[in-house]
């Protein structure tokens, strides 16, 4: 564990979070991979770097819509920003019927998080309009749970005025994300956003945004033809990992243990993460050291924080 004069330390599913003096956070991305809210046993090379740098790219690209927590990315695996108090919900927004929404629909469900879904939809169909399907913010080792807007307000999880602001930000961010994806020949299918409040009450965007872990993408070219033919869509996201796990009998249920990922599959996952980074950002991915040196990270963070004074 790094020694950065931290006041607190938290290990999330895929990130290590250091609470630093003066209201700062240093978030170190790891190569851990989670699926169905379970951290798999084997790391994915370069995954942490992809997530960290892709999140930084899109936080910059959406800062005109909503302020965010990020101050800078002083190291390929590290983001430093301002500490916020998180809202206890994740704002999931869906433009297409895929993933968890499709599995719910295929099982006969016609409402998701209190939102009615029309009859006659097929997997990967575009929804009449994007829908917000929030989840509770689970602790490590627990599952996020679907929850409706009405339940959030009734239970006082988020005040109504704040929740309306979160919805507005979510729709605006998703519209921007879809536009950016279309420019790169992709369709942003669904994603999730997390928000928090600064000490002065300002609502800010926190965590990652538009990464393979938080978002699902389809190849835009041929989408209509594949839908018409009833063929699976070409995805750039973590969904193919979930599908592989489902095919091998794992969905994160109690008593289940993730299967061992073959080396060839690990290499494929890594390659797909890097591919999506390059597709979405238009930048060449430069691989950093697979095993980061704590001294290098410490120095990079310390030097960056010194520039803030």
Least confident of 94-103, 131-140, 256-265, 296-305: 131-140
The runs of H, that is alpha helices, within 145-212 are 149-154, 160-183
- Catalogue the long-range contacts made by 29-32 (C-beta closer than 8 Å, 24 or more residues apart): 29/77, 29/78, 29/79, 30/77, 31/290
- Token digits of residue 160: 């109504």
Beta strands in 30-125 (DSSP E): 34-35, 38-39, 70-75, 78-82, 85-86, 89-96, 111-112, 115-116
59 and 207 Cβ atoms separated by less than 8 Å: no
d(CA 252, CA 262): 19
pLDDT in tens, 196-222: 999 999 999 998 999 988 999 999 999
123 and 98 Cβ atoms separated by less than 8 Å: yes
pLDDT, residue 217, reads 93
pLDDT band at 141 (very low <50, low <70, confident <90, very high): very low
Q: What is the mean pLDDT of residues 109-119?
A: 96
Q: Provide, rounded to the nearest whole percent, the portion of the chain with pLDDT above 90.
A: 73
Look up residue 134 and give its DSSP letter. -
- Measured from the Cβ of residue 14, the count of other Cβ atoms closer than 10 Å reads 19
pLDDT, residue 4, reads 67
- Measured from the Cβ of residue 257, the count of other Cβ atoms closer than 10 Å reads 9
pLDDT, residue 189, reads 97
pLDDT, residue 117, reads 96
- Measured from the Cβ of residue 225, the count of other Cβ atoms closer than 10 Å reads 9
In the block, tokens 């690209």 appear at 61
Architecture of the domain delimited by 86-241: 2-Layer Sandwich (3.30)
pLDDT, residue 138, reads 59
Q: Provide, rounded to the nearest whole percent, the portion of the chain with pLDDT above 70.
A: 95
* CATH class held by domain 8-83+259-307: alpha beta
pLDDT, residue 132, reads 98
- Token digits of residue 164: 């309306």
Give the residue from 189, 173, 237 showing the smallest Cα distance to 211: 237
Domain boundaries defined on the chain: 8-83+259-307, 86-241
pLDDT in tens, 20-29: 999 999 999 9
pLDDT at 294 over 80: no
pLDDT band at 297 (very low <50, low <70, confident <90, very high): confident
**Mean of pLDDT over the chain:** 91
Look up residue 114 and give its DSSP letter. T
d(CA 31, CA 262): 16
């Amino acid at each position: 564990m790094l020694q950065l004069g931290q006041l607190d330390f938290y290990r999330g599913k895929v990130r290590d979070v250091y609470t630093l003096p003066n209201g700062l956070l240093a978030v170190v991305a790891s190569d851990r991979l989670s699926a169905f809210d379970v951290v798999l046993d084997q790391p994915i090379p370069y995954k942490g770097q992809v997530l960290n740098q892709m999140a930084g790219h899109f936080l910059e690209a959406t800062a005109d819509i909503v302020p965010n927590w990020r101050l800078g990315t002083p190291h390929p695996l590290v983001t430093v920003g301002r500490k916020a108090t998180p809202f206890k919900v994740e704002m999931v927004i869906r433009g297409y019927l895929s993933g968890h929404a499709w599995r719910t629909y295929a099982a006969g469900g016609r409402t998701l998080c209190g939102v009615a879904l029309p009859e006659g939809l097929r997997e990967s169909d575009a929804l009449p309009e994007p829908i917000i399907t929030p989840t509770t913010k689970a602790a490590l080792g627990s599952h996020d749970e679907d929850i409706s807007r009405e339940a959030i307000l009734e239970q006082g999880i988020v005040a109504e005025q704040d929740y309306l602001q979160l919805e507005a930000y979510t729709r605006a961010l998703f519209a921007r994300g879809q536009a950016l994806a279309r420019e790169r020949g992709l369709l942003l299918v669904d994603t999730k956003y997390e928000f928090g409040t600064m000490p002065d009450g300002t609502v800010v965007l926190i965590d990652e945004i538009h990464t393979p872990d938080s978002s699902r993408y389809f190849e835009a070219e041929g989408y209509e033809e594949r839908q018409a033919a009833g063929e699976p869509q070409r995805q750039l996201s973590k969904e193919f990992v979930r599908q592989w796990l489902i095919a091998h009998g794992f969905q994160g249920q109690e008593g289940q243990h993730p299967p061992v990922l073959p080396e060839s599959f690990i290499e494929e996952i890594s390659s797909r993460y890097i591919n999506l980074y390059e597709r979405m950002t238009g930048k060449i991915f430069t691989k950093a050291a697979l095993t980061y040196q704590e001294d290098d990270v410490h120095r990079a963070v310390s030097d960056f924080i010194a520039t803030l004074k």
